Amino acid sequence: QSVLTQTPSASGTPGQRVTISCSGSSSNIGSNTVNWYQQLPGTAPKLLIYTNNQRPSGVPDRFSGSKSGTSASLAISGLRSEDEADYYCAAWDDSLNGHVVFGGGTKLTVL
Amino acid sequence: QVQLQVSGPGLVKPSETLSLTCTVSGFSISSGYYWGWIRQPPGKGLEWIGSLYHSGTTYYNPSLKSRVTISVDTSKNQFSLKLSSVTAADTALYYCARVRDSSAAFDIWGQGTMVTVSS
């Protein structure tokens, strides 16, 4: 059972806009920033969004993040076949002397 | 270009200690940043194990804290993970990564190494 809650799966067709949600609590998302990772099959995770809505160099602006209260979202616009991957949200949690918590992951399928 | 490389045994016996090392190239650990370990059981999601600063300050996953030790060897530009009393539940792909900043974002990842706990 992950501390951050994500819907297990999502899907969309090429060109479509999809949103992946991440729900937490006051001790994590509610008081800290959210990061998102993309994990393509058989590869290490890649940082996609940090500090709620910032993109590392090289990440297309089709990917965007937002946060409101104890929830966060990752939006992917202009969906492409190469976006098919697992997506994870993560945040620092202030409880128990502080620790990093991850969501369970959302598998995105491009139909 | 910063690169991280995990090394260590791929097979560990139950009740023994899992030991992995992450070697950093292209950046001096003693210059700063936090560094961390994350694992992923087969077919499952990511689990943070712990992070440390070059000075030795550490943070551990509360659920693993009693069994985990993360340490740094700045002379070798490496940091290490030790997980004691392992069971089959510790079978996973183990990654090391750099923490970007206070956001706790892992911005550079090693390739990961599979560790199987089995007799």
Tell whether the model's pLDDT for residue A1 goes beyond 90.
no
Of the pLDDT bands very low, low, confident and very high (cuts 50, 70, 90), residue B40 is very high
A29-39 pLDDT, tens per residue? 999 999 999 99
Question: In this structure, is the dihedral angle defined by the CA atoms of residues B29, B30, B31 and B32, taken in order, positive or negative?
Answer: positive
Mean pLDDT of chain A: 96
Contact B110 A2 (CB under 8 A): no
Cβ distance of A44 and B111 shorter than 8 Å: yes
Residue A28 has pLDDT above 90, yes or no: yes
Angle in degrees, CA A31, A33, A36, rounded to 5: 140
Tell me which chain B residues have a C-beta less than 8 angstroms from the C-beta of A8.
none
Q: What is the percentage of chain A residues whose pLDDT exceeds 70?
A: 100
Band of the pLDDT at B54, cuts 50, 70, 90? confident
Q: How confident is the model at residue B31 (pLDDT cuts 50, 70, 90)?
A: confident
Looking at CA atoms only, how far is residue B93 from chain A in angstroms?
Answer: 10
Q: What is the pLDDT of residue B55?
A: 81
Q: Taking all residues of chain B, what is their mean pLDDT, rounded to a whole number?
A: 95
Which DSSP string do the residues of B37-100 spell out, in sequence order? EEEE-TTS--EEEEEEETTS-EEE-TTTTTTEEEEEETTTTEEEEEE-S--GGG-EEEEEEEE-
